[in-house]
Structure 1
Amino acid sequence: MQLSPNEHNNNFSLSRFESMLKTNNVLFFDSEEFENIIHHYLESGKIALAKKAVKLGLEQHPSSTNLKLFQVEMHIFENELDTADELLDTLYVLEQSNEEIYIQKANILSRRDEHKKAIQLLEMALKITDDVTDVFSLIGMEYLFLEDFENAKYYFIKCLEDDEMDYSALYNIIYCFEYLEQHEEAIEYLNDFLNKNPYCEVAWHQVGKQYFALKEYKKALAAYDFAIISDDSFIGAYLEKGKVLEKMKRYNEAIESYTITLGLDDPTSFALLRIGKCHEKLGNKELALQFYTKCVEEDSLLDKGWIAITDFYFRGKDYQKALYFIDKAINIDSENVLYWKRYAKINNRLNLFEEAEHGFRRTLELGNYELETWLTRCDILIKLGEFEAAINNLNQSAEFYPECAEIEFRLAGIYYFLNEATKGRFHLRNGLKIEFDFVMVLEELFPTVYTMKPVQEIIASFKKASL
């Protein structure tokens, strides 16, 4: 393939520049060459080389506004906002009609969370720029930062009106519609867009997602089929089509759609996981397990893969294998609360109460404050004879669930069991006031306490009062 003259010149300039850096021989470049070199390095993420090119460029062309603007960009990138601001003030005195000065000033204000002021400057840039699309996009992003989704949507729509191939603007428009829960309006907008661009696979894909959110699965399926007709290598459309087919319980067709993606690119852990789920729904247990295994081999950090294997064995009551896989998962990510919750439940089923208690404790430490977690941990501590720890656990849970009969009856049972009748009576009465029927908790966990005469008398008096 032949290079265009511009590409050839750019490559020649880059080679000369990099040769100069290696040999320390000073070569001359015109300011436009420096601009192209800097732009190339910024696009490639080679910031250190971009900085060198800016420095050398300004040494050879100290009055170049564009090179000074690149220098400003470097300062902003390194969060040296005051320095960048001072340089822009100097440039503004010289060139008040350069839109890039307003854009970079707005960039600084945005980084300082002064988004409304940034918008004002961008609106000034809009009046003097030849490239309105980029400025519309920047204003849209500022409104997103302000969570003003209506205005953000307006400006991204303006972007797309100016450039119908600006798919990032299209995605942002749909993001705004979705955040505002305007699914029907999104569909209407996309249909208007598709009337002008009937083979835009991205728009068809987004129509499908809106119908999926509205649970109109047949229409979603049709939209994804049109996306695939528009681009038969569009992996996202096949994946979303698979999800719709799963919802419609057409599992074999879902497998087929997911499988196509495996041939289009490297296998994704998501596709492998979903194929496994479909096989499990179809009763193909061995195939399900094969795909779950491939999923975690492909991406060992995908917690849904490890959870799928663990739950597969848990449902089959093969608790030892379930424990083996959740142990592996925890070794990879010991801060995953979903892993610890399963670890605790599996050990509880295996009557390994100390390990189960440890699992529930870690679950709580990682921020899972579900009532079931507190109560199950308490019941295990009671089995282990750790009554003080059980009381502490229940007192902590009461901070999150202050009017909970299940907590009160457990505290009553423990205190009566420890011969602290006054405290036991207090919590027993609390529990009966909150929800009388949950007295069964006391009967199940503390049968000897439940049959005590003083306890039965209190229960009877509350029962009589409620008649």
Structure 2
Amino acid sequence: MIIFTLMNKDLPQFEEDADDLKDLLQQFENLKSGQSNSFLDEDSFEQIIDYYDEQDQLNVAFLAAEMGISQYPYSALLLIKKAGLLIESKKYKEAIALLNKAALLDSTDVQLYIFKTDAYIAMNQHAKAVRVLEDQIEVFEGEDKTELLLELADVYDDWEEFEMVFDVLRRALLHDNNNEESLHKICFWTEFTGRFEESIRLHSDIINEHPFNELAWFNLGTAYQGLKLYEKAIDAYQYAIAIDEKFDYAYRNMGDAYIRMRRYAEAIDILSKHLEIAKPEDVIYEAIGHCYDKQRKYTQARYYYRKASHLSPTDDKLYYKIGLAYMAEENWANALKSLQSAIKFNKQSSDYNVATGECYLQMGKYKDALIYLLSAVRIRPNNAKGWQCFMRGLYVAGFYEEALGQLNALDPKISTKPVFQYYKAAILFRMGRQKEALLQLETALQRSPKLAKQFVELDAELLQHTSIVDMLGRYRSSLRRKK
């Protein structure tokens, strides 16, 4: 009810402004048609030009500018307005000439230099744009100086001189260390350039002067976070939130810092507060789901992944994560449903095909499993993990000859990895070629004894062979002696 009253309180003023504009436009029409009793001052011409420019009626805006200048030939304001229209029309040299003329009449309008800068950037003459701004930055003071510095930062951005963008924004903050736009922009460029130490010094100085500037505290936090000093980052974010309890980005970044410290319960608490004060976002729900996943609370993890998927229904990785959460509980059928949804949106994911193949393998559907595992290695033929899963699938399905043939045909860069030597040993044992198998197992143990668990995980029944147990025992004893 209060909102409704406040909205309607300003309505008469809005209607009055609209009526004034309507009257101005009518007077302009009268002037165009040659009615002698019509008169417009400079400010009125400015409003008319802006109106038609905003309506994308550039020709009418040009006409208004020409008529205004003919009536007020020494108006720098109208010359600058016309120059802006020329820039929109890509007539950059004409615009610069007009701006030079306007500067002779009034050199105190900041917009004159911003338009000239825009024209030089459009002509890819960034050095000239920089010179224009640098010549004026020391002339102006206060907000005008800040505006020119921010424009200079944009020039360097367009020029792809990214280190200079940071330098100029620092200059802007040294001039006005409480300027919101400068503080917002330098946060991004600190991360982009990696100049975290300088940002920490800069924002620490700002905080000393303005201890209740929440943006400065936030930027200090992001700089600490960039250096992986998460505890200090969290402290800074907490100050930002103490000043502004609805500072949603501070909650978001604090949650990320807690996640990186593996303090998942605290991350959940902070990210839940973010949801209370800000519009729900898929990334926040996903992050909370990730935290529950890491705590092995898979039901809660799936709940939040689903909340995220409702906001982003075509995000395949969310269905994949739901599938993995089911797989962790060995709920293969439900995992399969989620993984198939992921594949529907992204058929070219090796990981999705591997996980789907694993589900089918666990369900004893070997043919289906091998179809997906084969797809995975075709998508990423140089990925050792995919080949390992495919070999395991062939082995579990009992296709030993096929598995051996595939191993022998593999690229040596992959097949010579110790894990594949363990797999080859297991395959040879199952094929009854025990001498070759023992030689292969011994080679694998010599190269990487720690990976012997891969051999046992592939087929624990092989431990029924005394020769295998004796060989594994010798290498375990050797490892213990080395330690």
- Would the TM-score normalized by the shorter structure come out above 0.5? yes
Distance 1:386 1:146 in 2: 58
> Are 2:225 and 1:243 equivalent residues in the alignment?
no
Q: Which amino acid aligns with 2:51?
A: I
Pick one of 273, 282, 289 that aligns with 2:286: 273
Q: Does the 8 Å contact 1:306/1:325 carry over to 2?
A: yes
Please report how far the alpha carbon of residue 152 of structure 1 lies from its aligned counterpart in structure 2 after TM superposition: 1.8
Q: Which amino acid aligns with 1:205?
A: F
Secondary structure (helix, strand or coil) at the match of 2:120 reads helix
Q: Does the 8 Å contact 1:301/1:333 carry over to 2?
A: no
Q: Deviations 1:237-256 (Å, cap 9, x if unpaired)? A: 22223333445555444333
Distance 1:167 1:217 in 2: 25
> Are 2:166 and 1:153 equivalent residues in the alignment?
yes
Distance 1:196 1:238 in 2: 24
- Residues 188 and 92 of structure 1: CA distance in aligned 2, closer, same or farther (over 3 Å): closer
Alignment-derived partner of residue 442 in structure 1? 424
Distance 1:333 1:14 in 2: 54
Alignment-derived partner of residue 239 in structure 2? 226
Distance 1:87 1:347 in 2: 70
- Residues 282 and 201 of structure 1: CA distance in aligned 2, closer, same or farther (over 3 Å): same
Alignment-derived partner of residue 212 in structure 1? 225
Alignment-derived partner of residue 123 in structure 2? 109
Please report how far the alpha carbon of residue 443 of structure 1 lies from its aligned counterpart in structure 2 after TM superposition: 2.9
Please report how far the alpha carbon of residue 223 of structure 1 lies from its aligned counterpart in structure 2 after TM superposition: 1.3
- Residues 265 and 144 of structure 1: CA distance in aligned 2, closer, same or farther (over 3 Å): same
Q: Does the 8 Å contact 1:245/1:251 carry over to 2?
A: yes
- Residues 216 and 329 of structure 1: CA distance in aligned 2, closer, same or farther (over 3 Å): same
Please report how far the alpha carbon of residue 192 of structure 1 lies from its aligned counterpart in structure 2 after TM superposition: 0.8
- Residues 143 and 57 of structure 1: CA distance in aligned 2, closer, same or farther (over 3 Å): closer
Q: Which amino acid aligns with 2:268?
A: I
Identity rate, percent: 20
Please report how far the alpha carbon of residue 314 of structure 1 lies from its aligned counterpart in structure 2 after TM superposition: 1.4
Q: Which amino acid aligns with 2:94?
A: L
Alignment-derived partner of residue 319 in structure 1? 332
> Are 2:59 and 1:55 equivalent residues in the alignment?
yes
- Larger radius of gyration, structure 1 or 2? 2
Distance 1:315 1:276 in 2: 14
> Are 2:54 and 1:37 equivalent residues in the alignment?
no
Distance 2:94 2:145 in 1: 25
Q: Does the 8 Å contact 2:196/2:226 carry over to 1?
A: yes
Pick one of 149, 163, 166 that aligns with 1:136: 149
Pick one of 204, 209, 214 that aligns with 1:201: 214
Distance 2:19 2:372 in 1: 62
> Are 2:183 and 1:170 equivalent residues in the alignment?
yes
Q: Which amino acid aligns with 2:130?
A: I
Alignment-derived partner of residue 134 in structure 2? 123
Alignment-derived partner of residue 307 in structure 2? 294
Alignment-derived partner of residue 94 in structure 2? 87
Alignment-derived partner of residue 463 in structure 2? none
Which stretches in structure 1 are left out of the alignment for 5+ residues?
42-48, 76-82, 408-430
> Are 2:310 and 1:328 equivalent residues in the alignment?
no
Q: Does the 8 Å contact 1:357/1:377 carry over to 2?
A: yes
Distance 1:245 1:295 in 2: 20
Distance 1:362 1:145 in 2: 44
- Residues 312 and 363 of structure 1: CA distance in aligned 2, closer, same or farther (over 3 Å): same
Please report how far the alpha carbon of residue 234 of structure 1 lies from its aligned counterpart in structure 2 after TM superposition: 1.1
Q: Deviations 1:148-191 (Å, cap 9, x if unpaired)? A: 44322110112223444443422433344334434333222211
Distance 1:17 1:352 in 2: 78
> Are 2:273 and 1:260 equivalent residues in the alignment?
yes
- Residues 259 and 166 of structure 1: CA distance in aligned 2, closer, same or farther (over 3 Å): same
Q: CA RMSD in A?
A: 4.6
Q: Deviations 1:310-349 (Å, cap 9, x if unpaired)? A: 1111111212211101222333455666545544544454
Alignment-derived partner of residue 424 in structure 1? none
Please report how far the alpha carbon of residue 233 of structure 1 lies from its aligned counterpart in structure 2 after TM superposition: 0.9
Q: Does the 8 Å contact 1:301/1:332 carry over to 2?
A: yes
Q: Deviations 1:197-251 (Å, cap 9, x if unpaired)? A: 2122222122222333434333222212111111011112222233334455554
Normalised to the residue count of structure 2, the TM-score between the two structures is: 0.67
Distance 1:393 1:129 in 2: 73
- Residues 311 and 376 of structure 1: CA distance in aligned 2, closer, same or farther (over 3 Å): closer
- Residues 100 and 290 of structure 1: CA distance in aligned 2, closer, same or farther (over 3 Å): closer
Please report how far the alpha carbon of residue 289 of structure 1 lies from its aligned counterpart in structure 2 after TM superposition: 2.9
Q: Which amino acid aligns with 1:227?
A: A
Q: Which amino acid aligns with 1:133?
A: T
Q: Does the 8 Å contact 1:326/1:343 carry over to 2?
A: yes
Q: Does the 8 Å contact 1:102/1:124 carry over to 2?
A: no
Normalised to the residue count of structure 1, the TM-score between the two structures is: 0.69
Q: Deviations 1:419-445 (Å, cap 9, x if unpaired)? A: xxxxxxxxxxxx5xxx78964443334
Q: Does the 8 Å contact 1:149/1:180 carry over to 2?
A: yes
Q: Deviations 1:354-397 (Å, cap 9, x if unpaired)? A: 6556656665777795332355457768959889x969994xxx
Q: Does the 8 Å contact 1:242/1:258 carry over to 2?
A: yes
Please report how far the alpha carbon of residue 296 of structure 1 lies from its aligned counterpart in structure 2 after TM superposition: 1.5
Deviation larger for 101-110 or 161-170: 161-170
